[in-house]
Structure 1
Amino acid sequence: MTVIDHRRPGYLADTHTGLPIPTEPVFTSAEDERRHRKQRLAAALRIFGKLGYGEGISGHISVRDPENLDQFWVNPFGVSFNRVTVRDLICVDDQGRVVAGRHPVNPSAFAIHSQIHQLRPDATAAAHGHTAHSRALGALGRLLEPIDQESAAFYRNQVLFDRYDGPSVAVEQGRAMAEALGDRRAILLRHHGLITVGGSVDEAVHWFVTYDGCAQVQLLAAAAGQLGRFTDEQAEAARDGFGDAQLGWFSFQVLWDDIVHEQPDLLDE
């Protein structure tokens, strides 16, 4: 009788999905990990540009520095998502000072991301954008309904921020958002946009792209008729698979491969 060995190889991650997903890379030096994070950040910004998430000077993605934990890397103020390279990224400390890089910081980026990184030690990265679908959903004051597998990734893992005090340039505004986010992975800002977080740039950006796509599906479905919603049991089952953090990280790798192949200049240092 043939015995099939179902033990998972050491290079694969243990996930709810049971899929052959590799583990995230482990680095032997902070310098190597910093370079990896910056490359992923530059790629994520180009992906935002490719998907049409740009809205003038608005929108930013950040990742915590692996060595100086009170600092984070972020896209610079006034540089298009479509043109950002690794060389353009800036590092900002917890006082809003640019400690590495040649560009200024977007005041909104500091106000929001500094507070999320302070309150969420597990949030290595955060993504924020003013996308059409997230703004439309926020204008309705509605969160994602669990109407399909993808939207179930956010089932009981999102919150609506119903407060608006003008452009988010004050640390107090960012603090309020970070406190409202709590331990969830997504916060929909009414009259503003969307923020998602994750244990890596890869994960945070995957959740952002997925959330915006789910918002589009929900808006289309609601405009056509009555939404067909999962039961709680179905939503939880779908969330265990599609909401798996390691799956979120791995899903970004496809986007990474595509954008680096199409736009290799993003890696310029």
Structure 2
Amino acid sequence: MPGPTPPPPLPTDRLQFAMPPMHGSVEEERRYRKERLAGALRIFGRLGFEDGVSGHITARDPEFSDCFWVNPFGLPFRHVTVSDLVLANSDGQVVDGRYHVNQAAFTVHAQVHAARPDVVAVAHCHSVHGRALAALGEVIEPITQESCAFYEDVALYDAYTGVAVDAEEGRRVAEVLGSRKALVLRNHGLLTVGDSVDAAAWWFLSMERSSQVQLTAKAAGRPVLIDHRMASATREQLGGDLVAWINYQPLWQDITRSEPELLS
């Protein structure tokens, strides 16, 4: 005998699906970017990306486009709240906030923001696997579905000149990055950008994991590369900032539900 008739599918407009919000005012957008920045910093802290006072995520202010919100110098990522964030101008001078900023790191961020008006956020930390990949002078290779998101969209800054302390060094980094979303700084670490804090943070997370997979695979043998056609097609599917934003949302929900005080 035939079984019971299954219920009909629900209309798709009744199902929830997160998309980047539209903002009604500059103030609303500023608050949104600051909340996402504080959340991203806490996630990076959870994952051990912090190394002393090294590491930054910056978010362009929606009104003052040459000013950027950034984590306070010396404050642990895991403790950052929205009210702790610092606004600095392109010269690294604090214009709003209670803390100093890391001038050496901010030099690079400011130049990347200046060269890329499409970029809202820049992420750079001294993560373990990113540094290991950087020590080899390698970029992400198309050996997994996730790594294909970086195919022909990551560059190598093939130099090490010590701690970046001048604008010229930052401009060289920005020039090598070009229009790409990611950069391997040789003997240093990873840098990613995005049209939202969520996207830049996701690309850094994904790039760090891809670095780990690549290093592990090469330690075990010879990875099989995905061919150019399929790697390019996969990048077109997975490599956009909107996809990165969507991928990041479970992390955002987790951090805000478990640590809601970050929004204060």
Structures share fold, TM-score greater than 0.5: yes
User: Does residue 1:85 correspond to 2:74, yes or no?
Assistant: no
Q: Which residue of 2 aligns with 1:184?
A: 180
Q: Which residue of 2 aligns with 1:257?
A: 253
Q: Which residue of 2 aligns with 1:248?
A: 244
In structure 1, runs of 5+ residues without a counterpart are 1-7, 13-19
Percent of pairs with identical residues: 50
Measured in 2, the distance between the counterparts of 1:238 and 1:21 equals 22
| Residue in structure 1 matching 2:94, options 98, 101, 114 | 98
Q: Which residue of 2 aligns with 1:138?
A: 134
| Residue in structure 2 matching 1:159, options 121, 138, 155 | 155
Question: How far apart are residue 142 of structure 1 and its match?
Answer: 0.9
Change in CA separation of 1:21 and 1:156 when aligned onto 2, cut-off 3 Å? farther
In structure 2, runs of 5+ residues without a counterpart are 1-11
Question: How far apart are residue 186 of structure 1 and its match?
Answer: 0.2
8 Å contact 1:63–1:124 — kept in the other structure?
A: yes
Describe how 1:5-24 pairs up with structure 2 within 5 A.
22-24=18-20
Question: How far apart are residue 189 of structure 1 and its match?
Answer: 0.4
Cα RMSD over matched residues? 1.7
Q: Classify the secondary structure of the residue corresponding to 1:187.
A: strand
Q: Which residue of 1 aligns with 2:200?
A: 204
Q: Classify the secondary structure of the residue corresponding to 1:144.
A: coil
Question: How far apart are residue 95 of structure 1 and its match?
Answer: 2.3
Q: Which residue of 1 aligns with 2:218?
A: 222
Measured in 1, the distance between the counterparts of 2:233 and 2:83 equals 42
Runs of 4+ in 1 over 4 A off after TM superposition: none
Q: Classify the secondary structure of the residue corresponding to 2:261.
A: helix
Q: Which residue of 1 aligns with 2:262?
A: 266
Measured in 2, the distance between the counterparts of 1:233 and 1:217 equals 22
| 1:98-157 C-alpha deviation (Å, 9 max, x unpaired) | 010000011123201110110000111000011110111111111111001100000000
The residue type paired with residue 153 of structure 1 is A
Describe how 1:29-108 pairs up with structure 2 within 5 A.
29-108=25-104
Measured in 2, the distance between the counterparts of 1:221 and 1:233 equals 22
Q: Which residue of 2 aligns with 1:122?
A: 118
8 Å contact 2:137–2:187 — kept in the other structure?
A: no
| Residue in structure 2 matching 1:27, options 23, 35, 49 | 23
Q: Which residue of 1 aligns with 2:109?
A: 113
8 Å contact 2:136–2:187 — kept in the other structure?
A: no
Measured in 2, the distance between the counterparts of 1:130 and 1:110 equals 14
The residue type paired with residue 109 of structure 1 is A
TM-score, with length taken from structure 1: 0.91
| 1:174-207 C-alpha deviation (Å, 9 max, x unpaired) | 1111111000000000111110000000000000
Measured in 1, the distance between the counterparts of 2:105 and 2:155 equals 20
User: Does residue 1:236 correspond to 2:236, yes or no?
Assistant: no
The residue type paired with residue 100 of structure 2 is P
| 1:223-255 C-alpha deviation (Å, 9 max, x unpaired) | 000111101111012112221221101111111
Question: How far apart are residue 21 of structure 1 and its match?
Answer: 5.5
Measured in 1, the distance between the counterparts of 2:243 and 2:162 equals 36
Query: Would you say how many aligned residue pairs link Structure 1 and Structure 2?
Result: 254
8 Å contact 2:55–2:124 — kept in the other structure?
A: yes
Q: Classify the secondary structure of the residue corresponding to 1:196.
A: strand
Measured in 2, the distance between the counterparts of 1:34 and 1:78 equals 23
TM-score, with length taken from structure 2: 0.93
8 Å contact 1:154–1:243 — kept in the other structure?
A: yes
8 Å contact 1:21–1:247 — kept in the other structure?
A: no
The residue type paired with residue 137 of structure 1 is L
